[in-house]
Each structure stands twice: as structure tokens, then as C-alpha cells.
Chains A and B, each alone.
Chain A
Amino acid sequence: MVLNLEKKIERLTLFLRLDGELDMHTASTLRQAIDSEIDKRGIRTVILNLQGVQFVDSSGLGVILGRYKKLLPLGGKLKITNVPPHIYKIMELSGLPKIINFYLDEAHAYEEGRGA
């Protein structure tokens, strides 16, 4: 099982749609995909669409939290959308929703903070 990433960039916002399992094996794929956009293109907002995520464990959550921590001092934001219920349960247990903002879908996440 792998993790597929569908990438889209609009202005300085990176949209990433995740499809597959997010564990210690696939976490590095996600880390590299996001970090390279932050470092090379100056991306400051990352919107993660988790609709297609079938599994997540603490390694996967750690990478998401790590990207949030990387963006914070740069004045950036990490937003999460379309979380399936069984994935949200794990995230809730980790306390992640207290730190990172969750949205219904990408449009809501994109609008927020843009004054639209």
C-alpha cells in the first residue's frame, strides 16, 4: 500500500490530496512533498485534503504536526479538510484538532483568512 499525492498550487497555496495509507513508510513521501514546496517555491499555506486516507498512525500524525511547526515561524498555515470519520477519531485522540484547523472542504479552507 502506498500513498498517492495529487498536487495543485494556486498563488502561494499548496493543495495536496492524499490517497492511501499514512504510516512511517509513506510519511517521508508526504514530508518531502510539502517541504520542497515550502523551501523552493515559498509556499505559505498548505491545505491537506484527507478524503482518500484509509489509515493513519502516530508517524503520519507526526509528519502533519511537523509541517505545521515548520510553517508557523514562516507566518504560514496548515489546514486539513475532508477527514473521514475513522481517521478523525485517531486525530482527536492525539489532540491534533486543538492545534490545527479542520475544514469541511478545500473551498472553506481556502476562503478562510483571505477575507473573501
Chain B
Amino acid sequence: MKSNQITLTFSSIPENVSIARLLIASVGGQLDLSLNDIEELKVAISEAVSNAIIHGYQSNPSRIVYLNLVIAADNLKITVKDEGCGISDVAQAMQPAFSTDPERMGLGFVFMQSFMDELQVDSVLEVGTTVTMIKHLKPTPISSH
């Protein structure tokens, strides 16, 4: 797979969470990932984008979510950025079952952590949050064709 880079910016509306999933599923397909890996990437990206919309932007539809995918030989990097309210205590927010909303399970970061090889959350109050997730890719055998 050649190195590749894709950036998508979109309104912070719930409808766009599935657009982000469609994109990662297509990229995963091109990378020849297993269906299971693609499912896991879809969940991870869904969580990151949902967090940006619900928490970062408090569901304000006029804000913009920034999604960036970088495909290298040995890894796939997904960055989801919002310019929203930020997280006051990242370590606390990443705890299982921590949620500011009783209807939610507080599992977003748990799923991101479980399904990706690396997860980094950078957040500054009133500036925004950037979630960086990396999936290691198995080296593809050199084709005999």
C-alpha cells in the first residue's frame, strides 16, 4: 500500500458519524485488513467523532470536526480534532464508566483503547481536544507478480 493521506472536515452533526465510519471502512478495505479489524476501526472512529460532537461541541451543529487519516507502510493513524470546550481532566475522562451523561456508558475511550494499538488524547480547556489513534499494520509480503 502506498502512503496516503486523507483529510475530511465536517459539521458536528450526528449524521456525520456514519460518514466517518464509511471512510475508515473503505481505507481498511484497501489495506486488506480483516473484517474484524475493520469493525474495530469503525467503532474506534465512531467513538472519537461522537465525543467531539457531544462533548467537545456540546452538540452544537454549527461547529466543525476535523478528521485526518495518515496511511504509512506500517501503521494507520487517525486523528480526530475539535475546537470545542476541552476536557478538564483527561485521565479521569478516560476511566471506564466515567460519563457526564447518565444515558451514556462512559465507554468511548475504553473502546478506542481496546481496538487501537496506541491512543493519545491532547486537550486544552476552551481550545479543544485532539484524539490520535494508531493501528499497527502487518507488513505485507512482497508480491511475486
Contacts and interface: CB of A to CB of B under 8 A. Distances in A.
B35 to A, nearest CB: 8
B17 A58 contact: no
Contact of B50 (A31, A57, A66, A69): A57
B14 A25 contact: yes
A10 B103 CA distance: 27
Interface of chain A, helix or strand or loop or mixed?
Answer: helix
Interface residues of A, number: 20
Given A21-B18, A57-B46, A58-B47, A93 B104 contact: no
Given A57-B47, A58-B105, A62-B105, A23 B111 contact: no
Interface stretch (B36-44, B77-85, B126-134): B36-44
B103 A24 contact: no
Give the bracket for the number of chain B residues in contact with chain A: 20 to 34
B110 interface: yes
A55 B17 contact: no
Interface string A30-67: 01000000000000000000000001011101110110
A55 B111 CA distance: 14
Contacts of B39: 55, 86
Given A23-B46, A86-B36, 4 more contacts: A21-B18, A23-B50, A90-B111, A94-B110
Interface of A: 1, 21, 23-25, 31, 55, 57-59, 61-63, 65-66, 69, 86, 90, 93-94
